Each structure stands twice: as structure tokens, then as C-alpha cells.
Chain A
Amino acid sequence: MGTFILRRAWQGFLVVLGVTLTVFVVTRVFGDPVSLMLPLSASAEQRAAFAEGLGLNQPLLVQFVQFAADLATFDFGESAWQRRPAINVVFERLPNSLLLIGAGLGLAVVLSVPMGVVAALRPGGIVDRLTVGLGLLGLSMPQFWVGLLLIVVFAVQLQVLPTSGMGTPAHLVLPSVTLALVPLARLTMLVRSSMIDELNQQYVKTARAKGMPLRRIIGVHALRNASIPFLTLVGWELILTLAGYTVVVETVFAWPGLGLTAIQALQRGDLFLVQAIVFTIAIMIVLINIALDVVFKLIDPRINLN
């Protein structure tokens, strides 16, 4: 197990390095960060001084060497937009994103299991059709639209929840529900189809014939067998949320997380901050993958990790 984790960590390191270097090249080769960062009224001298201050007037190769050296010490340079170390901005915003993702994905995980199981008990029944219908609806509605809809209903019309920002638990409700919707739909569908498969297996039929209670069959056997695809999908949803969904949801709800910050950094051409954010997200994705592998091994020792 130890060797396995070390090997995966090394592979993960290479992935993070690859992603970060790609971002390095893309941000420097396409577009001109100096024009994006400075106001329209800035003079040519100011542009030159600014580029020099950031080391952007150096040849690309020199910049690259400097970049690699800084990377080794986790130094991402100073965010040109906020004029403080980019990594500090990341550390400040990351917990906000994790809170939102934890609440949203937690909601999806907690609700999807009972919903999927109940639907699977009577395939084609009214509960099942309702669940499938809601699932399809959840998957087909764009998140920003759902977000705005929730704001209009719960914040503007009913005035029971705040529209945006963060601070109190109430602020978390609408963004986490919006964020939960797509993962909830996908996870519920997965639980439903896995359970239908499991419940049709011979061992279930035998156990039922022997008089084992349904609750025990589902809880002990069927759910355990369905857990690996479920966890794989949870991991996948976590990655999608981290790298994508939060951007939309945080923008709509003005939630000060990493996703919103990434968009602002891109708009302002703040390449050091963009690099730091991409680096952080890449590391987290690698960590999630390693953690999933470890969990799989713990659930089912037969899995060959190599």
C-alpha cells in the first residue's frame, strides 16, 4: 500500500507539473497580460515598467527557468491584481470553496442513496418515474439558470434567504442546493440502476427466499456491491465541481471562492494568480484520485492497485 501511494504521488506530481507548465505557456504566448492588467490610460513607459517589474520582458526561456525555480519553493509570485502573494489569495479563498463544495456534494451524496434505493424497489412505479423525471430535469437545466430561479423564488419573492454573499449558514443554502443538483441527479440515477441490477441478482433472490429481511439485503450486500461505482462517481463529481461547477455557482451567488477568483483573475489577465489557482486545483484532483484508490482497496481488498 505504501509503495502504491508513493508511486501514485509521483505520477500525481508529474501531472501537476504538466498542467502548470501548460498554463505557463498558454498565459504567456496567447494574449498580453500587461495590456489586460493596466488601464487603457496607462502610458508606454508604465507598460514597460510594469512588464519589467513582473519579469515579463525577459525571454520566455529565462522566465521559464525562473518559474520552475519558484515553483520548487511554492512561490507563485505576486498577484498583479491584488499586489500580494498569489498563493495567499488562494489560501484565503480555498476554504470558502471547500465549504460550498462540502455542503453541495454532501447534500447530493446524502439524498441520492435513499432516493435511488426507493426508486429501485419498484422499477416503473410512480416513485421511480418521479425520480427519473426529476433526475433528467436536474441534468438538463443549466446551473446559472437554476441559481437565478432559486434567487427569484426564495430571496426575491419569499424573502426567506439571502440572494448572495457569504457570512451566515443561510447564505450557504441556495448556492449549495444549486451546486448539488447535477451531482444529485447523476448519483441518484447510478444508485437506482445499480440497485435494480443487484436486486435482480440470484443471491438476493436466494436470500429473500430464505427469509432475510429486505432492509438487511440492501444494507449489507447490495449497497456494498454498488459502493465502488458510486464512490467513483462521487470522486468524479468532486473533480467536476472543483474544476467547473463552482465557477458558475460562485459567480451567480457572489460567493468568494476559488472559482469566482479564477474568473476574476482571468478577466484581469493576472497570470500569477491564474497559475496558483490551476496548480492548487491540479494538486487537489490528484489527491482525490489517490484517496479514491485507497478507499477502493479498503472496501474491496481483492482490487489490484497496480
Chain B
Amino acid sequence: MTISLRGLLASTALAASMALVTPAAFAQSITVAIGSEPSTLDPQLRDDGGERQVNDNIYETLMARTPEGELEPGLAAEVPTQVDETTWEFTLREGVTFHNGEPFNADAVVASVERIIDPENNSEQMAYFGTIAGAEKVDDLTVRILTTGPDPILPSRMYWMKMIPPDYAEEGDLASEPVGTGPYRFVDWQRGTSIELAVNEDYWGPEPDVEAVTFRFVGEPGTRLSGLMAGEFDVIINLLPEFTASVENFAAVEGLETSVFVLGADNELTSDVRVREALNLAIDRQAMADSLFQGYATIAAGHHVNPRAFGFNDDLESYPYDPERARELIEEAGAVGATLEVIGESGRWLKDREQIETVAGYWSEIGLETDVQIQEFSQYLDSLMGDGPRPDSIFIANSNELLDADREASYIYHMDGAASSNSDEEMAAMIDEARVTTDPEARQELYDAIFQRGHDMHYTVPLFNLQDIYGMSPRMEWQPRVDAKMLIKEMSVSE
């Protein structure tokens, strides 16, 4: 057999070029700019956006959601069953391992549950898990989660609780080198600058398209936009609505937050339902959505519940803009010239100050005097949740991570809710009942009634379901999720 020199050279060159080209063609790596650095990578400690954006890719949960928000099994093999009022049974997916080789099984679930509810751990996430009493192993792949009372939203809660490897949690360093079961494993954390993840070759699910991802921490929206335009970033979060015109590839999706004014239903001026109705009719929400959000905000449908949440009342419609009727109502109530307190803060939520001031402007046009107070955040929290007298109206962007209406109902409508401003016992009783009703249909009926009542009583002035806007490089393909999770495994790169 003879080998020609030319043939040898050609094949060598081909091999060399293949070696150069192959990794580039298959190893897709992307850079994502997020707004803040995680405070820790321990997935069970903080309630922190930066931590979630990274750890949602490293860790997994028993329940997951589709991009549209439907609950589905994650590390659980199927939808959990309810054994009795306070016990839910989960069957686990077989053959799943953590990145360090520890098996994922009932022991891992028990350890995860017990660690997060341990008071010693002082987890900020307890706001989501306060009803959980503990967990019991039935066999290797079956586990029961116990609640302190009937808890219909336990499956939703388990969509939020990340599963940790028990041995590593004891001996390793979850805070700076996380180990999960997810599609990506931790590679490196350059403090202050970036975190790198690489695809988990042994992932139980479909192989992701993106092989490696670098999260960069860029707080300044203008710098994030510049990085995107310069081709350094493939995805940036929180693209400002006014920047969408400069970006060729972006996606907006209804997010978790709804902006709303809570009205003091026991206050002298706002105890009159006619005044509260007038406040709802006075606002041209469409004009606000167009001018403040360039159209990237959805008008709330007559209640401040996230439209994707269980319990949303489909029959309710947004309040019309009817300033004439609003003026009549103010006159009928004898409130012309009365001073309405408008409390809010600035800089916490997208366009918060602008929303507060615009709405106060509309309210001034129907015959009321407005006293707008933009407070420092801790003072504002005291106004919102403190023991003092309730303000006539206070602005809040309510978020609902568990996508269940219990959040909105118990937080703002329930008379004992942390941010509520009414003393409607009947409403409170309905909310209490809905909270422990485990039959989904009966529960939905209760919420329909609760939100109808909230709507008719005008306890709140719902404004917008805020949209999350992401900027993307031309090569990125991704449909953002309604739960604001940034799952790299759902992203793909076109080239």
C-alpha cells in the first residue's frame, strides 16, 4: 500500500481542521448577564434573585413547571398522591444521581426537607415552606411529606424546594461549590465577576443544546445593553422597555409581579366603597401601559392575581376608564376636595415611582387632593406591614412565586394579611377555607367568589401584570418562562 504525500497532507489538514472546527460546532457556550451576584450558592438559605438564576440550573425540585406555568413532575416520577389531609406521597424518578455521584433517593428528599425547615438554618425561604412539618422515607423511591394542616398547595411548594445531596451538605461546601442533580454542574466562581457552569454529561433528562454557560453580574441596565450590543452577552435580563427599540432580538413574557394599590377600607375617606370605586375608574391603564411600559405590561383583570396562578378568576374584567363616573361617585360620597394619602417607594420595582405619580395624577383629576409620599424602603415596609394605622392607599408590586392564589388572597385581601387594609371577616373566612380545601374544583370556586368580592368591594386598585423583558443576541433562541426561571436547558443557539 502506498500513501501519497499529497494525500497524507490533505488528510492531516482535514484532521487538523476538524479538530479546530469540531469543538466550536458542538460545544455551544453562552454568556448570560444577570443583575446581581448570588450572595451564596447554598440553594436553601436565601431568597435571592441572583442565587436562583444560577442554581435553577444546578439543582432540581420534585415538581417542575412547563414554560407556561403548568405544574408537572420534576424529580418526582409522577404527580404526588394525597394519603390523608396532612400527608402527600411522592414517587421518585429512578437512576438520578447528584453531580458528585451521590444517589438521589428518598433519603436525599428527607434530608433536603429537614435541612430547610430546621430553625437553626434560619432559611429565608421558610416563607414558602412554613406549613411543612417533616418528611418520611417509605422506601428508596417513595417518600412522604407531612404538613401541619391540610395544605392543597404542597405540590407547588415542592416546585420551589431544591434537592440537595445529604452527604455533601454535611461535609462539603454548598455555599461556594454547589452540587445538584440538574442539567448543569458548577465549574468556577470568580467572585464579583462571573460564575461558570458546564453541562452535566450524566443528566437524566434530554441533553441540553447549550454546553456551557457563564453568568456575568452586571447591575447597570445600560452596561448590560452595551454588552449585548457588543456581542459579549447572549442573554440579558431586565431589558428596560425603552431599550427594546435598540435590540433586534428580545422577548417579553408576563412575569410574576402585579402592581397594585391596597386601599385602606377602614379609613375615613376610603371606607366609602363609592370612593374606592372612583379610584379604580379614574385611571387610564391603557395609556399608562403604552407610555410607561411601551406596551410591555398587561392590564390586570380586575384583581391583582397573577393570571397563570391557580385560583385566578377568569370571569373578571379590568376596570374601565371612566373619569366622568369617577367624578360623580366622589361627589355622591361628599368627598370632593378631600385629601387622599398615596404611599409608595422608589427603585424597588420597575417604574414604581412613575406608576405612583401617574396614578396620583389621575386621582387628582376626579376631585381629590393627593398627598404623595415616596418613602425610604424600611419606612415604607413599616407603612405596608407595620402595626400603625393603614394608609389610604399604598403601592406594592406583589409577586407570586408559587403561582397559587393563596398568596394574593392571604397577603392582601385577608384581614389579618401582612399587607391587608380591610376588616372583612366574611372575606377572611372564605380565604381560610380556600387555604385548606384540597379538592381543586371546590378550591377554584372559592377563589372565584373571593376575587369577585374583592373586585366588587374595590379593596385594591390593580394596575398591571408586569412583563419580564429579556434581550438576546441574534443567535439565541429562547422563549422565556412565565415563572421567570432562566433555564439554560431550554435555550438553544442557532449557529
Q: Mark B187-227, 1 if CB is under 8 A from A, else 0.
A: 00011111000000000000000000000111110110011
Q: Is A67 an interface residue when CB atoms closer than 8 A count as contact?
A: no
Q: Are A254 and B40 in contact (CB under 8 A)?
A: no
Q: Is A200 an interface residue when CB atoms closer than 8 A count as contact?
A: no
Of the candidates A33, A43, A156, which one forms a contact with B229 in the assembled complex, judged by CB atoms under 8 Å apart? Answer: A156
Of the listed stretches B373-381, B429-437, B477-485, chain A binds B373-381
Q: Are A83 and B175 in contact (CB under 8 A)?
A: yes
**B-chain residues with CB within 8 Å of residue A167 when the two chains form the complex:** 190, 193
Q: Is A6 an interface residue when CB atoms closer than 8 A count as contact?
A: no
CB distance from A139 to the nearest CB of B (A): 23
Chain B contact-residue range equals 35 or more
Q: A31-B378, A36-B378 are in contact. Are A164 and B223 (CB under 8 A)?
A: yes
Q: Are A264 and B219 in contact (CB under 8 A)?
A: yes
CB distance from B54 to the nearest CB of A (A): 15
Q: Is A155 an interface residue when CB atoms closer than 8 A count as contact?
A: yes
CB distance from B279 to the nearest CB of A (A): 23
**B-chain residues with CB within 8 Å of residue A155 when the two chains form the complex:** 226-227, 230, 232
Q: Is B334 an interface residue when CB atoms closer than 8 A count as contact?
A: no
Of the candidates B36, B230, B232, B377, which one forms a contact with A264 in the assembled complex, judged by CB atoms under 8 Å apart? Answer: B36
Alpha-carbon gap, A151 to B228, bound state (A): 12
Q: Is A63 an interface residue when CB atoms closer than 8 A count as contact?
A: no
Q: Is B47 an interface residue when CB atoms closer than 8 A count as contact?
A: yes
Alpha-carbon gap, A289 to B366, bound state (A): 62
Q: Are B124 and A93 in contact (CB under 8 A)?
A: no
Q: Mark B31-68, 1 if CB is under 8 A from A, else 0.
A: 00000110110000101100000000000000000000
Alpha-carbon gap, A34 to B417, bound state (A): 20
**B-chain residues with CB within 8 Å of residue A252 when the two chains form the complex:** 220, 222-223
CB distance from A57 to the nearest CB of B (A): 14
Q: Is B100 an interface residue when CB atoms closer than 8 A count as contact?
A: no
CB distance from A96 to the nearest CB of B (A): 7
Q: A32-B378, A251-B220, A254-B217 are in contact. Are A163 and B124 (CB under 8 A)?
A: no
CB distance from A106 to the nearest CB of B (A): 22
Identify whether the interface residues of B are mostly helix, strand, loop, or mixed. loop
Alpha-carbon gap, A31 to B375, bound state (A): 11
CB distance from A236 to the nearest CB of B (A): 28
Q: Is A38 an interface residue when CB atoms closer than 8 A count as contact?
A: yes
Q: A251-B219, A264-B219 are in contact. Are A159 and B377 (CB under 8 A)?
A: no
Q: Is B25 an interface residue when CB atoms closer than 8 A count as contact?
A: no
Q: Are B122 and A49 in contact (CB under 8 A)?
A: yes
Alpha-carbon gap, A256 to B195, bound state (A): 13
CB distance from A306 to the nearest CB of B (A): 43
Q: For chain A, residues 65 to 87, give those with C-beta under 8 angstroms from any C-beta of chain B.
A: 81-84
Alpha-carbon gap, A166 to B40, bound state (A): 21
Q: Are A163 and B226 in contact (CB under 8 A)?
A: yes
CB distance from B157 to the nearest CB of A (A): 13
Alpha-carbon gap, A17 to B244, bound state (A): 49
Q: A83-B45, A92-B192, A256-B191 are in contact. Are A159 and B216 (CB under 8 A)?
A: no
Alpha-carbon gap, A49 to B194, bound state (A): 32
Alpha-carbon gap, A248 to B454, bound state (A): 46
Q: A96-B192, A264-B36 are in contact. Are A165 and B216 (CB under 8 A)?
A: yes
CB distance from B229 to the nearest CB of A (A): 5
Alpha-carbon gap, A82 to B45, bound state (A): 11
Of the candidates A36, A151, A256, which one forms a contact with B226 in the assembled complex, judged by CB atoms under 8 Å apart? Answer: A151
CB distance from A179 to the nearest CB of B (A): 15
Q: Mark A251-271, 1 if CB is under 8 A from B, else 0.
A: 111101100110010000100
Q: Is A53 an interface residue when CB atoms closer than 8 A count as contact?
A: yes
Q: A31-B376, A35-B378, A155-B230 are in contact. Are A148 and B222 (CB under 8 A)?
A: yes
Cβ-closest chain B residue relative to A167 = B193
Q: Are A35 and B216 in contact (CB under 8 A)?
A: no
**B-chain residues with CB within 8 Å of residue A81 when the two chains form the complex:** 39
Number of A-B contacts (CB under 8 A): 113
Q: Are B230 and A82 in contact (CB under 8 A)?
A: no
**B-chain residues with CB within 8 Å of residue A53 when the two chains form the complex:** 122
Q: Are A156 and B230 in contact (CB under 8 A)?
A: yes
Q: Mark A33-46, 1 if CB is under 8 A from B, else 0.
A: 10110111111001
Q: Is A162 an interface residue when CB atoms closer than 8 A count as contact?
A: yes
Q: A83-B45, A159-B230 are in contact. Are A43 and B127 (CB under 8 A)?
A: yes
Alpha-carbon gap, A127 to B430, bound state (A): 81
Alpha-carbon gap, A39 to B219, bound state (A): 19
Chain A contact-residue range equals 35 or more
Alpha-carbon gap, A236 to B337, bound state (A): 56
CB distance from A268 to the nearest CB of B (A): 8
Q: Are A35 and B377 in contact (CB under 8 A)?
A: yes
Q: Are A148 and B226 in contact (CB under 8 A)?
A: yes
Q: Mark A81-108, 1 if CB is under 8 A from B, else 0.
A: 1111000000011001000000000000
CB distance from B433 to the nearest CB of A (A): 22
Alpha-carbon gap, A260 to B37, bound state (A): 12
Q: Are B377 and A36 in contact (CB under 8 A)?
A: yes
Q: Is A299 an interface residue when CB atoms closer than 8 A count as contact?
A: no
Q: Are B47 and A41 in contact (CB under 8 A)?
A: yes
Q: Mark A152-188, 1 if CB is under 8 A from B, else 0.
A: 1001100100111111000000000000000000000
Alpha-carbon gap, A41 to B47, bound state (A): 9
**B-chain residues with CB within 8 Å of residue A251 when the two chains form the complex:** 219-220
Q: Are B192 and A42 in contact (CB under 8 A)?
A: no
Q: Is B273 an interface residue when CB atoms closer than 8 A count as contact?
A: no
CB distance from A53 to the nearest CB of B (A): 7
Cβ-closest chain B residue relative to A46 = B126
Alpha-carbon gap, A159 to B219, bound state (A): 21
CB distance from A249 to the nearest CB of B (A): 11
Q: Are B218 and A254 in contact (CB under 8 A)?
A: yes
Q: Are A39 and B122 in contact (CB under 8 A)?
A: no
Q: Is B130 an interface residue when CB atoms closer than 8 A count as contact?
A: yes
Of the candidates B127, B190, B227, B229, which one forms a contact with A42 in the assembled complex, judged by CB atoms under 8 Å apart? Answer: B127
Alpha-carbon gap, A151 to B194, bound state (A): 20
Cβ-closest chain A residue relative to B190 = A167
**B-chain residues with CB within 8 Å of residue A36 when the two chains form the complex:** 377-378
CB distance from A83 to the nearest CB of B (A): 5
Alpha-carbon gap, A269 to B39, bound state (A): 13
Query: Which 3 pairs across A and B sit closest by C-beta, in order of nearness?
Result: A256-B192, A32-B378, A41-B127
14 A-B pairs besides A152-B226, A159-B231, A252-B222 with CB distance below 8 A are A31-B376, A32-B378, A39-B47, A39-B127, A41-B128, A46-B122, A155-B226, A156-B226, A165-B193, A165-B194, A252-B223, A256-B217, A260-B192, A261-B192
